[in-house]
Chains A and B, each alone.
Chain A
Amino acid sequence: MNIIVLLIAISLTIAILFLGSFLWSMRSGQFDDTYGPSVRMLFDDKKVKQDPQKDIDQRQPDSQS
Chain B
Amino acid sequence: MSNTVAEESPVSKITEQAACYHCGQDCKEDNLLKDGKNFCCYGCQTVYDILSENDLCEYYSYDAKPGASLKNLAVSDFSYLDEKSVRDKLLIFQSDTFCKVEFYVPAIHCISCLWLLENLQRLQKGVIRSQVNFARKRVTIEFNPAVVSLSAIAASMTSVGYAPLVNLEEKTTKKETHPLIAKLSVAGFAFGNVMLLSFPEYLGLDGTEQQLQQLFSYLNIALSIPVLLYSSQDYFKNTWTSIQQKQINIDVPIAVGLAALFFRSTYDVLFHVGPGYFDSFSGLVFFLLIGRWFQDKTYESLAFDRDYKSYFPLAIQKQVGEDWKPVVVYELAPGDVIRVRNMEVVPTDAKLISDQAYIDYSFVTGESKPVKVHEGDLVYAGGRLIGEPVILQVEKKTSQSHLTSLWNNAVFQKPKESRYRKIIDQAAKGFTWFVLAFSIVSGVYWYYADPSKMWLILTSVLIVACPCALALAAPFTYGNMLRVFGRHGFYLKNADVIERMAGIDALVFDKTGTITQGAATVIFTGHLSQHEFSCVKSLAASSTHPLSELIVKHISGHAQWPVKNLIERAGKGIEGEVACLPIKIGSVNFVGANTLEDQTSSHVFVSINGEVKGHFTISTALRSGIKDTLTQMSGVPVAMLSGDNESDRDRMQTVFADNATLRFHQTPQDKMTFIQDWKEEGKQVMMLGDGLNDAGALKQSDVGIAVSDNTGVFTPACDGIIQGSELRRLNLYLRLARASTVILKIAFGISFFYNIISLGFAVTGYLTPLVAAILMPVSSISVVGFSSIAVGLVSRSILKKSS
Q: Interface on A for B, CB 8 Å cutoff?
A: 1, 4-5, 8, 12, 15-16, 19, 22-23, 26-27, 31-36, 39-40, 42-44, 46, 48, 51, 53, 56-57, 60, 63
B87: which A residues are within 8 A, CB to CB?
none
Question: Binding site of A, secondary structure by majority: helix, strand, loop or mixed?
Answer: helix
Whether the pair A51, B121 counts as a contact (CB closer than 8 A) is yes
Question: Which A residue sits closest to B93, measured CB to CB?
Answer: A63
Whether the pair B114, A39 counts as a contact (CB closer than 8 A) is yes
Count of residues in B whose CB is under 8 Å from the partner chain:
38
A23: which B residues are within 8 A, CB to CB?
182, 185-186
A27: which B residues are within 8 A, CB to CB?
178, 182
Report if A60-B128 is in contact (Cβ < 8 Å); known contacts: A8-B219, A26-B178, A44-B58.
yes
- CB under 8 Å from chain A, chain B span 81-122: 92-93, 97-98, 100, 111, 114-115, 118, 121-122
Q: A39-B114, A44-B58, A48-B122 are in contact. List 9 more A-B contacts (CB 8 A).
A: A8-B215, A8-B219, A22-B185, A27-B178, A34-B135, A40-B118, A46-B55, A46-B58, A51-B121
Cα–Cα distance between A23 and B215 once the two chains are bound (Å): 27
Question: Which B residue sits closest to A48, measured CB to CB?
Answer: B122
Asked if B728 is an interface residue, CB under 8 A from chain A, the answer is no
Report the minimum CB–CB distance from B104 to chain A (whole Å): 14
Whether the pair B135, A33 counts as a contact (CB closer than 8 A) is yes
Whether the pair B144, A53 counts as a contact (CB closer than 8 A) is yes
Asked if B324 is an interface residue, CB under 8 A from chain A, the answer is no
Q: Which 6 residue pairs spanning A and B have beta carbons closest together?
A: A63-B93, A36-B134, A35-B134, A33-B133, A19-B189, A33-B135
Question: Which B residue sits closest to A63, measured CB to CB?
Answer: B93
Report if A60-B142 is in contact (Cβ < 8 Å); known contacts: A36-B132, A46-B58.
yes
Question: Which A residue sits closest to B142, measured CB to CB?
Answer: A60
Q: Interface on B for A, CB 8 Å cutoff?
A: 55, 58, 62, 92-93, 97-98, 100, 111, 114-115, 118, 121-122, 126, 128-129, 132-136, 142, 144, 175, 178, 181-182, 185-186, 189, 192-193, 197, 209, 212, 215, 219
Report the minimum CB–CB distance from B128 to chain A (whole Å): 5
Whether the pair B181, A26 counts as a contact (CB closer than 8 A) is yes
Report the minimum CB–CB distance from A46 to chain B (whole Å): 7
B193: which A residues are within 8 A, CB to CB?
12, 15
Cα–Cα distance between A34 and B178 once the two chains are bound (Å): 14
Whether the pair B122, A5 counts as a contact (CB closer than 8 A) is no
Whether the pair B209, A1 counts as a contact (CB closer than 8 A) is yes
Contact of B121 among A19, A42, A44, A53 (CB under 8 A): A53
Report if A39-B111 is in contact (Cβ < 8 Å); known contacts: A19-B185, A33-B135, A60-B128.
yes
Whether the pair B186, A35 counts as a contact (CB closer than 8 A) is no
B55: which A residues are within 8 A, CB to CB?
46
B100: which A residues are within 8 A, CB to CB?
63
Question: Which A residue sits closest to B126, measured CB to CB?
Answer: A53
Whether the pair A53, B215 counts as a contact (CB closer than 8 A) is no
Whether the pair A4, B212 counts as a contact (CB closer than 8 A) is yes
A22: which B residues are within 8 A, CB to CB?
185
Whether the pair B133, A32 counts as a contact (CB closer than 8 A) is yes
Report the minimum CB–CB distance from B26 to chain A (whole Å): 28
Report the minimum CB–CB distance from A37 to chain B (whole Å): 9
Cα–Cα distance between A60 and B94 once the two chains are bound (Å): 12
